[in-house]
Amino acid sequence: MTNSINNILEAIDENWPQCANKVSPALLRLLRVSNLFDNKIEALVKSHNLQRSEFSALATLRRSPIPYCLSPTALYQSMIFSSGGLSKVLNRLNQAELIERVDNPEDKRSKLVQLTSKGKQLIEIVMPELHHKERKILSVLSPDEQQQLDSFMRRILEAHES
């Protein structure tokens, strides 16, 4: 048996009917699409010798104002893909010379995280590749359908994120 959502729903209906009317096909499909996209991201960042959390940190720094610099706390809070071990991520990025730790002018006891020119160059190569993959995944939907999908996802997130 394959793991298509239709097959999963059929198996639930046949083998666990008490659960069948409680399962949400839309959420199962959302999870499957999320996994599909996760796998594409994982393969892409790996091809650039990055881990997902490293990619997320670089992308977060790049979308910050020049000089692409944040405190570790602000960086962590702004990352789309969170990382439980941010210190390790920052150490790897620092060793690869993709970021540097700079003095915090507001607090001499702490360091800020700043994107290096090498890090900026790398993330500016990776991001267009990611956008191409996103467009390819979503190409089965019309622009109006993509906008509807975004609207639905936004409503769900707004209702459940603090």
Q: Higher pLDDT residue, 23 or 35?
A: 35
Contact 89, 83 (CB under 8 A): yes
pLDDT of 81 reads 64
Q: What is the pLDDT of residues 129-142, one digit of tens each?
A: 999 999 999 999 99
Element (H, E) at 109: strand 107-115
pLDDT of 108 reads 84
Q: CA-to-CA distance for 84 and 58, rounded, in angstroms?
A: 16
Q: CA-to-CA distance for 57 and 48, rounded, in angstroms?
A: 14
**Is residue 97 over pLDDT 80?**
yes
Give the residue from 122, 128, 127, 66 showing the smallest Cα distance to 93: 122
Q: What is the pTM of this model?
A: 0.86
